[in-house]
Amino acid sequence: MEVTKRVFRFMLKQMDFMILLFILLLKLYIFAKVSGTIFVTLMPIDYLREFFGWLFGAETELRIFEGVLMVSVGTILLSTFWILFLHGRKRFVAIFIINALLSFIILADVIYFRYFEDIISITVLMQMKQLGDVGESVFALFSWTDLIFFIDLLLTIPLLIYYFRKTRNHQPAKPLLIPKLLTGLLVLIIGYQLTFIPFNKSMENGGAWQFNKLISNMRVYNFTGLLGFHGANLQRYTEDNFINKKEYTEDEVESVASWFEERNEAPAASPYSGMAKDKNVIVLQVEALQDFVINREINGQEITPYLNSLIAEEGIYFPEFYEQTGVGRTSDAEFLLNTSLYPTAKGSAYMLYAENEYDSFPQILKDKGYSTNVFHPYKPSFWNRYIMYKQLGIDQFFSESDFEEDEVIGWAINDDAMLQQSLDKMVDMEEPFYSHIITLTSHHPFEMPDDHKVLNMDGYAEYSKRHFRNYLHSIHFVDQAIGNFVDRLKAEGLWDDTMLVIFGDHSTGLTADDPAFSEFADAGEQQTYFEANKKVPLIFHIPGVDEAQQFDQTGSQLDLAPTLLDLIDAPSSGRKWIGSNLWDGEERKVTFRDGSFITGDLTFITSSDGIYENGSCYERESGETLPTEQCRAPFDQGVQELKMSDDVLEGNLINKFEK
C-alpha cells in the first residue's frame, strides 16, 4: 500500500510535464489542420488499442503510422525529457521557457505556411534580419485563433509569480535521485523509439528517395512531424554546408555542361527576331500582378485599363505565362529573369548564392554595349541585392536613398512617383540602356490610402474580402502609374527606341479559401486555383510592331532571358540556361519548384507528401482527372531540369564550365 502511494505521489509530481506534453501536442495538431496534412487517422481509443496491439505483437492494420501523431509525441519527448531531471523553481522556469520557444516555432510555421504553403527552414531563418521589413505583411496573416498558441503562457505567468513568492523562503524537498534519473532516461528512450520507428518505417517503404531528394519541406514534414522537420533540417543544413559539402568531379561537371550545351544548341527564332536590336530595353517587373485582372471589370470599371489598351492596340501578349518563384518571391522572379535558372528550394538564391558566377542576361547586354541598371525604391540590403547585382553585371542600382521623398504607399514611395523619378534618370543615360524596374506599391497586404480607392466595390464589403478589395485597388493604381510612365516615355521621345517588357513577379497570396478571389478568378477547384494562382501576364511593346498580337503557347519566367536575347538579335546558343525562346515550336512545359507542371494540355499538381503517385493529373481543357502515369514523362523531364539547376547553384558550376 505504501509503495502504491509513493508511486501515485511520484506520478502526481510529473503532472506538470504531462500537461506540457498535451499542450504542445495540441499546437502541433493545429498546424496540421492549417496545413491540411494528416495528423492522425484514428479516434483516441482506437489509436491506443492499435498502438498497444502493435506494441505487444498483435496483428493490426498499422494505421498508427498514418499521420504524424506518433513521431510528434516522440519529438516532443526528445525536446523536453531533460526537464524531468530538474525540480522546484528550475523545473517551473524550464517548462515555461521550452513551452514558449516551441510555441513560437510552431506559430511561426503556421503564419509562414499561410503565405508560402511551406515550413520555415534554416536558410529562411538566416534571413530573419529582414523580418522587420515585412512585418505589416506578416501581421496581416495573423488570425485571432492564433492566440491559442500563447494563451496558456499568459495564464502561466501569474502562476509563476505566485510560485516564486510562495517558495521564496522555502525550498521543496529534493526528489530521490535514482527515480528521477530513471524516469528521465525512460522518457528519452520512449521519445527516441516513437520518433525513429515511424521514420525508419517510412524510409523502408520507399520514403528514403523522397526524403533525400528534397523538393518541398512538406515532404520531410510527412516523415518527421513539425519539430522533427526542424531537427532534420538543422542536421541537413549542417551536413550540406559543413560536414558533407558536395564537391563535383570533372566528369560530373562535364556531364552538366554537356546537358546545357545540348539544350541550347539550336535555339528557335521568333517572328520578331532582331526587331529590338540596339534599342533600349526596359523590363517592368510588377509586384503581385496576376493575369486574372487583365481585361476584367469590377462593377463596370476596368481594373487595368492601361494594360488592356496596350494589349488591344499594339502589345504582344502571352496569356499562358506562369511564375515559378519559391520562397524568395520577388527575388526569385528577378533570378529567373536574370539567369534562366530555377530558384532554389532552400531559400533565396540571392541570399545563398550571391557569390556564384552566372551566365546572366544583364552581363550579356553589358558586353553588347548597354549600360545596365536596376530601379527599386527600397533598402539595397534587402534580399542581398546590393551584392547580388554586382555578380549579375548590373552597373547601377538605384535604391531607397536614390529617390526623393514622395507619398509612401506600403513599403516605399508609390509606384507613380518611383516610375517618374526612374525615368528622370533614364533620359540622361547614354543609349542603349537596360533598365530593370521592380515595383512595390501592390505588395501584400495591399493597403491603399482612401483617396486612391477609386474602384466601385459594391458587393465586396465584408471583412473577409478586404484583401481582395485592397488588391484590386492597388493594381488599379499601379496600372495608372504604368500608363503615366508610358505617356512620359512618348513625350521624351524614347518610346520608339525602347522595348518595354511588363510581367508579374508572383502570386498575390490570396488563397482558395478567399471566396471573392475564388469566384472572380474562377478558381474554385484544385486545378483551376493552381493555374490561376500561378498565371501572371507578360506583355511586350516592340519598336516597329504596330499590330497587337496574342500568343497562346505556354511559357514561364525561365523563358524571359532567351526570348529577350532573340529580340535584340543575340541568339542564346551556347548559354547555360534552362529556359527557351517563347516562340520555340516544340511542346512547351512549365515546371514549378515542387515538381508540379503545366503544359498546353496537362496540369500536374504534386501532393504535399511529395509521392508522385499521390499527385493529381488533369486534362486542362476538360478538367478531367487522368491516371498519374499520363503525366509521368513531363514530370521526369522537370525533375531533371530542377536537378541540373540545383547542381549549377550548389557547385557554382558556371565558374567551372568556363575553366
**How far apart are the two ends of the chain, measured CA to CA in Å?**
81
- CA angle 143/148/154 to nearest 5° reads 120
pLDDT band, very low/low/confident/very high, at 572 (cuts 50, 70, 90): confident
Which of 37, 80, 330, 439 is catalytic? The answer is: 330
Mean pLDDT on 356-374:
96
Domains of the chain, earliest start first: 2-36+68-198 (no CATH), 259-583 (3.40.720.10)
Task: Confirm or deny that 505 is annotated as ligand binding.
Answer: yes
**Nearest-5° angle of CA 20, CA 26, CA 32?**
140
User: What is the residue whose three cell numbers read 514611395?
Assistant: 413
**Nine cell digits for residue 137:** 505583411
Closest by CA position to 505, among listed 463, 556, 550? 556
Give me 265's grid cell.
Answer: 544548341
pLDDT at 206: 67
Position 653 pLDDT exceeds 80: yes
pLDDT above 90 for 123: no
Reply yes or no on whether 37 is catalytic: no
Closest Cα partner for 50 from 518, 59, 380, 280? 59
Q: Give the residue, 410 or 89, on which the prediction is more confident.
A: 410
Mean pLDDT calculated for residue range 281-297: 98
Give 8-19 pLDDT, tens digit per residue.
777 778 899 999
CA distance 90 to 17: 13
Give yes or no for residue 190 having a pLDDT over 90.
Answer: yes
Q: Which residue has the cell 508511486?
A: 7
Rounded-to-integer distance, Cα 286 and Cα 482, Å? 10
Determine the pLDDT at residue 352. Answer: 81
Round to whole Å and give the CA distance between 607 and 612: 7
- The residues pairing with 297 across neighbouring beta strands, listed in sequence order, are 302
| AA letter at 380 | P
CA neighbor of 544 nearest in space, from 495, 482, 583: 495
**pLDDT given for residue 132 in this prediction:** 53
Position 128, amino acid? M
Which of 100, 108, 227 minimizes the C-alpha distance to 156?
100
Q: What is the pLDDT of residues 9-68, one digit of tens each?
A: 777 788 999 999 999 999 999 999 998 899 999 988 999 889 988 888 888 888 899 999
Mean pLDDT (the chain) is 90
111 or 351: whose pLDDT is higher?
A: 111
Q: Are 518 and 298 in contact (CB under 8 A)?
A: no
Please give the Cα distance from 353 to 348 (Å, whole number). Answer: 8
The rounded distance, in Å, linking the Cα atoms of 61 and 255 is 46
pTM of the complete model: 0.79
Per-residue pLDDT at 209 exceeds 60: no
Interval 619-640: pLDDT, tens:
999 999 999 999 999 999 999 9
User: Is 422's pLDDT higher than 90?
Assistant: yes
What does the longest C-alpha to C-alpha distance in the chain come to?
A: 99
DSSP state of 204: I
- Residues 505, 439 contacting (CB under 8 angstroms): no
Annotated binding-site residue? 287: yes
The stretch 251-263 carries a mean pLDDT of: 95
Q: Which residue has the cell 512620359?
A: 488
**513 in a labelled binding site:** no
**Mean of the pLDDT values across residues 164-191?**
80
Highest mean pLDDT among 39-48, 118-127, 234-243: 39-48
> In which element (H, E) is residue 540 found?
strand 538-541
